[in-house]
Amino acid sequence: MNAVVCFCHFCEIHGPRIVYCTQPFRPQEPKGLLESEEGETKRVKSPSVSSVCSDTVSTQTGAGTGTPSLPSMKNDICEGCYSVKKGFVSYDEGGQVSYVSTQHPNNPQVFSRIRQACIRSLSCEVCPGREGPIFFGDDQYGHVLSYTFYIKDSKARGLRRSYSIIVVMMDKIYLLNSWPFLVPNLQTVVNNLQKKAEIVHENEIGKKSQGDRIFTHHGNLLQRVNCKPARSLIELTNDKNVFVLLHLAFVWILKSCGNRITESILEGPPTEDSIIDMEKIEETEEGFMKVFKVEDETSSDSLQVNTESDVDIIDPTLPLVTNIRHLYKILGIHNFHILCHHVVIGNQIIVMGSVKQLVVSILNALKILLPKGCCRVEYYSDKYQESWKCNFLGLESNVKLPIHVMASEKFVMLEVVYDDSLNGSQFDSLDSDVEDYFRSYDFKMSSPVTLQERAPTVLNKMVAAIQNKNLSDSVLEQCFICLKEEWMNKVKVVFKFTKAGGNRSKEDTEKLLQVMGAKGEEQLLKFWMTGLSAQYRNHILSSHVQAKS
Amino acid sequence: MSYTEDEQVVGSFPKGFGYGPEETDSDIGASGGEEKPRILLMGLRRSGKSSIQKVVFHKVSPNETLFLESTNKIVKDDVSNSSFVRFQIWDLPGHIDFFDPTFDSENIFGGCGALIFVIDAQDDYMDALVRLHHTVERAHKINSQIKFEIFIHKVDGLLDDHKIETQRDIHQRACDDLEDAGLEKVNLSFHLTSIYDHSIFEAFSKVVQKLIPQLPILENLLNILISNSGIEKAFLFDVVSKIYIATDSSPVDMQCYELCCDMIDVVIDISCIYGSRDDGAFDDQSAAIIKLNTNTVLYLREVNKYLALVCILREDNYNKQGLIDYNFHCFRKSIQEVFEVQQNKTGESLVANGTVRSHKT
């Protein structure tokens, strides 16, 4: 655990002081102390107190925090705030960690942080009941779990002295999650100290019976005698090894606490889109494909290769739609909304124009509205392709649609017409920032289909996101992914409910849709169902079959 | 009780911890938006800061203060008895330097009205003087409005001659130090104090009085009252702390003050024992007259919930009790008017008018 455990004391002479601190060192960390300690289980570290002190001096002057009263931390150590001359080192072979306990930490940055934490723990923060754990801190100075407590001392003012053990850590979440572990264990350490001190205290009172409470009466003066400003913890607990024990306790706490929680990156399940991507790869690798794929590949193989290779070479003099927002600007809200509505409910989108690059780019921009599984694209064809083959169709200009298509198919036609006489007047004033080269293009939309009055919820959300200027393009993209995933989940539920669940009454389906907030959007759901991955379909259907049998 | 019992509040928050500025608690009789003046108790460790605070505001017996532990954080104590006596006492531990950048010294000293620096007169006070100088210098830089009060404390252990000598010496050295630092315009007030007698209450009274903007009006009212009623000396007391927030312009005799304090104790004790109500021993009917065998009469009347008027007068002048009662009535009315003015903040002129009108007897 990357934490520093400190034992702090409110010294009668010096105020809040760090008495003892234990910190872990890993090999890659600044060595200094650890150079020759490989493999040693326990060994007093080399640097003497003087070097520690010189370091802290440089901290204070360097950081500009040196002040007349607090800085006495360096040169002026009284019995009360003194712990060990050198320190202790424990080496954990398994974890490759050395645990070093010293009076003060060597690292100036660590020192200033724990000094701050020490002052706050003893002199600022108030623990309800005065004894016990509290948490405070910030990202700048680190987060602190502080356990304040008293140790009895018959010679102290108020007959007790104030101490605290603080655990300083930069990782707030980790520290708070370790609370249930740290607090009982710190409590054990504290109770242990208090018990020892209690015995010493009892002895002292018993030995001197009255001696400790003698007040001399001198004129009007009452003065308490026998008051010692500072006594060391060793004296208070009558345990020469108290700091060794503290070292052991702190090392154990640091190590066990580190073992308690391990962090791992949690990734969400793959989105439907990525599954589709994976399936595509698998299919080609294994050498067989689904039926519609075969159609796709064979009929338009050469074409697609052509178009895509051509698209790579972008002609900057010709207009190009960069993304959905761009398209939105060019078409204006009204036409854009209608077009998108057609897209999301699965009507065939036919974009007809003489500029291939523009047609392709429009189709590419629109693809983002649909889950990948729903997109079947024919980028630029010289003859009409049936809607079951592709829902995005790019056509060369002047291609005639077959009569049966005109009569019965659901499609929307977007014609991109080049007209020199236009100079941008076809755009709304809104779209003043449309590039110049679009000014000579007109976009005509026609469709034999009448759309439902109410646009799908998901579309409205998407349009709102497009209109929201606070969202950057990349955020917008993420937003679309989320929206699509949200609705794909609903599609999955409906799929499972209708296809795999056997006969469902219409009423039940209605109710389900209402619960999901997808009432009246059957058209969209039905279309998006075609975009479900084969993996998922197979899984659902097979599990259904299993359940039946 | 008028003070918040043993209120332990977090002291200064070190800078940058995201705590906002101190919020002033809303309390009874709070005049809108007015910041409560703050009194800081500072001094070296073991100089007696916490003891002073405990004895004056918490009725701790002086002997018990021997068992106080050292203060390790700022202890804030709200004293909000009335609209006149409203302040916060911050007991600052002597171990910690609050000018350290770790602490938000602007916050601590910025809203501070008076700074009481306690010097242990029984100890070697050279260190204390160094700290005093440092404190005055820094605090004055942050807030030039602070009034510095030096309590030369624990003088009960000194002989009378020694007391005067100590005060003179400390005064001399402290002022010399300030002069050397070019701060001769900073005014230090010195008080000899001890928690074993009433000197600490008296000294505290003087500190508090400086924080009461209406003090001249109150003094004036008292002057009018005593001159018209044949009273020798009159104190306006804050009953709970026994601090007098105003007195007439005749010099204060320590014994008179002690006598009045004792009288308040007697009255409170009697009414606590025999009073009909459990909650407040002191109410608007409270009045007491004590005749002493020295031909003097002590006269106590309640002014409002927290304030009492205590007068000392000769027995000969007490034959016209009706007049005194009537004058007191007028006095109380005008005090209440001063209150209202402060609450409404309508200006000082009304106060003056009120004063004149009530004393045409």
pLDDT digits (tens, 9 = 90+) for B112-146: 889 999 999 988 899 999 999 999 999 999 998 89
Angle (CA) A123-A129-A135 rounded to 5° is 60
Do residues B86 and B211 touch, judged by C-beta distance below 8 A? Answer: no
Do residues B345 and B31 touch, judged by C-beta distance below 8 A? Answer: yes
Residue A383, exposed/middle/buried by CB under 10 A (0-12, 13-18, 19+)?
exposed
Q: Which of A65, A158, A219 sits opposite B67 (nearest CB)?
A: A158
* pLDDT surpasses 70 at A548: no
Contacts of B100 in chain A (CB under 8 A): 65, 67, 69-70
Between residues B216 and A536, which one has the greater pLDDT?
B216
How many other C-beta atoms lie within 10 A of the C-beta of residue B71?
Answer: 23
Contacts of B8 in chain A (CB under 8 A): 126
Q: How far apart are CA B333 and CA B148, in angstroms?
A: 34
Among A64-78, A497-511, B6-20, B168-182, the minimum mean pLDDT is found in: B6-20
pLDDT score recorded for residue A292: 43
Q: How far apart are CA A173 and CA B144, in angstroms?
A: 44
A106-136 tens-digit pLDDT? 888 899 999 999 999 998 888 888 899 999 9
Q: Of A299-303, A377-381, A419-423, which one has max mean pLDDT?
A: A377-381
Q: Determine the average pLDDT of the residues in A301-320.
A: 54
Question: To the nearest 10°, the Cα dihedral for B111, B114, B115, B121?
Answer: -170
The predicted model scores a pTM of 0.63
Q: What are the residues facing B43 on neighbouring strands? A: B118
The CATH architecture one would assign to domain A290-466 is 3-Layer(aba) Sandwich (3.40)
Q: Chain A interface, mutation test: which of B7, B100, B105, most A Cβ atoms within 10 Å?
A: B100
| A158 interface with B at CB cutoff 8 Å | yes
B266-307 tens-digit pLDDT? 988 888 888 776 666 667 778 889 999 988 999 999 888 888
Residue of B nearest to A152 (CA): B69
Compute the residue count for chain B: 361
Cβ contacts of A337 within 8 Å, gap of 6 or more: A455, A459, A463
Q: Chain A interface, mutation test: which of B66, B195, B199, most A Cβ atoms within 10 Å?
A: B66
| A13 interface with B at CB cutoff 8 Å | yes
| A410 interface with B at CB cutoff 8 Å | no
Contacts of B121 in chain A (CB under 8 A): none
Q: Would you place residue A446 in the very low, low, confident or very high pLDDT band (cuts 50, 70, 90)?
A: confident
pLDDT score recorded for residue A7: 94
Q: Which of B12, B70, B99 sits opposite A158 (nearest CB)?
A: B70
Contacts of A154 in chain B (CB under 8 A): none
Q: How far apart are CA A55 and CA A68, in angstroms?
A: 18
Q: Would you place residue A423 in the very low, low, confident or very high pLDDT band (cuts 50, 70, 90)?
A: low
- Total beta-carbon pairs less than 8 A apart between chain A and chain B: 97
| A217 interface with B at CB cutoff 8 Å | no
* pLDDT surpasses 50 at A53: no
Contacts of B132 in chain A (CB under 8 A): none
pLDDT score recorded for residue A457: 86
Q: How far apart are CA A446 and CA A444, in angstroms?
A: 7
φ/ψ region of B240 (left if φ > 0, alpha if ψ in -120 to 50, else beta) reads: alpha
A2 phi, psi to nearest 5 deg: -85, 75
What is the fold of B38-210? Rossmann fold (3.40.50)
Q: Give me the residue label for tokens 């997109």.
A: A375
How far is B187 from chain A, CA to nearest CA, in Å? 25
Q: Chain A interface, mutation test: which of B96, B131, B163, most A Cβ atoms within 10 Å?
A: B96
Residue of B nearest to A68 (CA): B97
* A493 residue type, one letter: V
The SS3 assignment for A541 reads: helix
Among B31-35, B118-122, B236-240, the minimum mean pLDDT is found in: B31-35
A233-245 tens-digit pLDDT? 998 998 899 999 9
HSE at residue A280, side-chain half, CA atoms within 13 A, is 15
Q: How far apart are CA B177 and CA B117, in angstroms?
A: 15
Between residues B219 and A327, which one has the greater pLDDT?
B219
Tokens coding A36? 């020759």
Q: Would you place residue B37 in the very low, low, confident or very high pLDDT band (cuts 50, 70, 90)?
A: confident
Compute the residue count for chain A: 549
* pLDDT surpasses 90 at A48: no
* pLDDT surpasses 60 at B5: no
Q: Of A186-190, A276-280, A395-399, which one has max mean pLDDT?
A: A186-190
| A222 interface with B at CB cutoff 8 Å | yes
Cβ contacts of A142 within 8 Å, gap of 6 or more: A113, A117, A168, A169, A170
To the nearest whole number, what is the mean pLDDT of chain A?
Answer: 77
pLDDT score recorded for residue B35: 66
φ/ψ region of A526 (left if φ > 0, alpha if ψ in -120 to 50, else beta) reads: alpha
* pLDDT surpasses 80 at B92: yes
Query: 3.30.450.190, 3.20.80.10, 3.40.50.360, 3.40.50.970: which CATH number matches B215-358?
Result: 3.30.450.190
* pLDDT surpasses 80 at A439: no
Between residues A381 and A64, which one has the greater pLDDT?
A381
Among A193-202, B15-24, B77-86, B92-101, the minimum mean pLDDT is found in: B15-24
* pLDDT surpasses 80 at A307: no
Superfamily of domain A473-548: Folliculin (1.10.10.1730)
Q: How far apart are CA A401 and CA B63, in angstroms?
A: 108
Q: How far apart are CA A16 and CA A60, in angstroms?
A: 16
How many other C-beta atoms lie within 10 A of the C-beta of residue B107?
Answer: 17
A386 phi, psi to nearest 5 deg: -65, 155
**Beta carbons of A120 and B95 less than 8 Å apart:** no
Q: What is the 3-state secondary structure (H, E, C) of A436-485?
A: HHHCCEEEEEECCCCCCCCCCHHHHHHHHHHHCCCCCHHHHHHHHHHHHH
Q: Which of A123, A156, A160 sits opposite B73 (nearest CB)?
A: A123
Contacts of B95 in chain A (CB under 8 A): 10-16, 69
Q: Chain B interface, mutation test: which of A14, A67, A123, most B Cβ atoms within 10 Å?
A: A123
Q: How far apart are CA B111 and CA B39, in angstroms?
A: 9
A335-377 tens-digit pLDDT? 888 888 888 888 888 888 888 888 888 888 888 888 888 888 8
Sheet with B147-153: list strands edge to edge. B75-80, B86-91, B38-43, B112-120, B147-153, B188-192
Q: Give me the residue label for tokens 């590949």.
A: A297
Contacts of B15 in chain A (CB under 8 A): none
The SS3 assignment for B98 reads: coil
To the nearest whole number, what is the mean pLDDT of chain B?
Answer: 81
Q: How far apart are CA A412 and CA A406, in angstroms?
A: 10
B303-323 tens-digit pLDDT? 888 889 999 999 888 888 888
Q: Determine the average pLDDT of the residues in A461-477.
A: 88
**Beta carbons of B67 and A64 less than 8 Å apart:** no
The SS3 assignment for A497 reads: helix
Q: How far apart are CA A351 and CA A330, in angstroms?
A: 15
Q: How far apart are CA B257 and CA B251, in angstroms?
A: 11
Q: Determine the average pLDDT of the residues in B230-243.
A: 90
Q: Of A174-183, A350-359, B83-92, which one has max mean pLDDT?
A: A174-183
Q: Which residues of B touch A (CB under 8 A)?
A: 8-14, 16-18, 45-46, 63, 66-70, 72-74, 93, 95-97, 99-102, 122, 134, 154, 156-157, 194, 196
**Beta carbons of B70 and A215 less than 8 Å apart:** no
Residue of B nearest to A153 (CA): B69
How far is A205 from chain B, CA to nearest CA, in Å? 15
How far is B32 from chain A, CA to nearest CA, in Å? 30
**Beta carbons of B10 and A125 less than 8 Å apart:** yes
Q: Chain B interface, mutation test: which of A61, A220, A224, A227, most B Cβ atoms within 10 Å?
A: A220
Q: How far apart are CA A163 and CA A40, in angstroms?
A: 32
A283-296 tens-digit pLDDT? 655 555 444 444 44
A394-414 tens-digit pLDDT? 888 878 788 777 777 788 888
**Beta carbons of B96 and A11 less than 8 Å apart:** no
Tokens coding B127? 């260190």
pLDDT score recorded for residue B52: 93
Q: How far apart are CA B201 and CA B256, in angstroms?
A: 13
| A118 interface with B at CB cutoff 8 Å | no
Residue of B nearest to A63 (CA): B101
**Beta carbons of B95 and A124 less than 8 Å apart:** no
For chain A, which residues make up each domain, given as ranges? 3-260, 290-466, 473-548
Q: Chain B interface, mutation test: which of A151, A152, A157, most B Cβ atoms within 10 Å?
A: A157
Query: Looking at residue A380, what DSSP letter applies?
Result: E
pLDDT score recorded for residue A189: 94
